Amino acid sequence: MNERITAQISSHRFLALPFILWAMFFIVLPLFFVLGTGLTNEAGDVTLANLLTVLQSEYLRALGLSVELALISTFICLLLAYPLCLILKAKRDKRGLLVFLLFLLPLWMNSLLTTMAWQTILEKHGLINMFLSYLGLPAVHLINTPAAIIIGMVYNFLPYMVLPLYVSLSRIDESIVEAARDLGANFWRTLRHVLLPLSLPGIVSGCTMVFIPALTTFVISALLGGNKVLLVGNIIEQEFTAAYDWQLGSALSMVLMVFIILNILLEAFTDNGEHRKKGRP
């Protein structure tokens, strides 16, 4: 009896083999390459020199700016997506679905293309400044500033916030909202005491899904930041393609990974917290 179950399990394990191989060759192995490159010098000796270089102010400043811009973009995405998802939740019909798909549209377009489009909108003689001069207003300097990068990030990554948020908000039954109002809660109190806590898992996964690509992007910062605003993604790209310092590039990637792992841990923690709370007798 026991043997048969064991045999069954091992035959099921066999089905997992392709995925295990995939994970080994395309995820774990490259990770070790990056770690290996980051922790050695050109001669192949193990050293921490690359990591210490990363701690120099110029790199730290880029890292700080990357984190800052990614956080701001994530926050703006959340502010934009939450009311939108509330409206979509209230309008769960064909028109609602249409609006929902409309907001996912940037996902279907090449992000390089959309970012170049933003370039023409934001540049010195771009659409915005043309419109302002038509109104007789002074021109604004947007292109090659952090603000331009934030606009590009928000535009490209908003769908990643809308998707998980919409899913978690639409799972909340309308009668829960009605119960809160029935018990005396106005809109804001219902939002604060019922909708926000119940949609917290969606908020956290939406923030993670925006924060990580925003932190590592180099296309958006390259096109909308010129060479005036350097983010970590751009430095890594330059180390690999222009400076050919793969050791330093890998070390920078490792530092970036720490942030990403922290972020994922945060998400896992909120998820766990939910389960623990539910599991309490």
- Window of 63-71, 111-119, 139-147, 194-202 that interacts with other proteins by CB under 8 A: 194-202
Report the residue number, 83 or 281, with the smaller CB distance to other proteins: 281
Residues from 218 through 277 that contact other proteins (CB under 8 A): 277
Q: Closest CB to other proteins among 92 and 189?
A: 189
Q: Are 186 and 239 in contact (CB under 8 A)?
A: no
Which residue type occupies 51? L
| Least distance between other proteins and beta carbon 269 (Å) | 16
Distances (CA, A) of 235 to 43, 71, 152, 238, 243: 23, 19, 19, 5, 10
State yes or no: residue 198 binds other proteins (CB under 8 A). Answer: yes
Which residue from 7, 193, 227, 272 is in contact with other proteins, where contact means CB under 8 A? 193
CB atoms within 10 A of CB 215: 23
User: In sequence order, which residues have a C-beta less than 8 Å from that of residue 177 and are 6 or more positions away?
Assistant: 190, 194, 195
Sign of the CA dihedral running 102, 104, 106, 107: negative
The DSSP code for 24 is I
The window from 5-13, 36-44, 171-179, 214-222 that contacts other proteins (CB under 8 A) reads 171-179
| Binding characters for other proteins, 79-118, by CB under 8 A (x = yes) | ----------------------------------------
Q: Is 176 in the site for other proteins (CB under 8 A)?
A: yes
Is the CB of residue 224 less than 8 Å from the CB of residue 122? Answer: yes
Among 4, 12, 94, 280, binds other proteins (CB under 8 A): 280
Nearer to other proteins, 200 or 219 (CB): 200
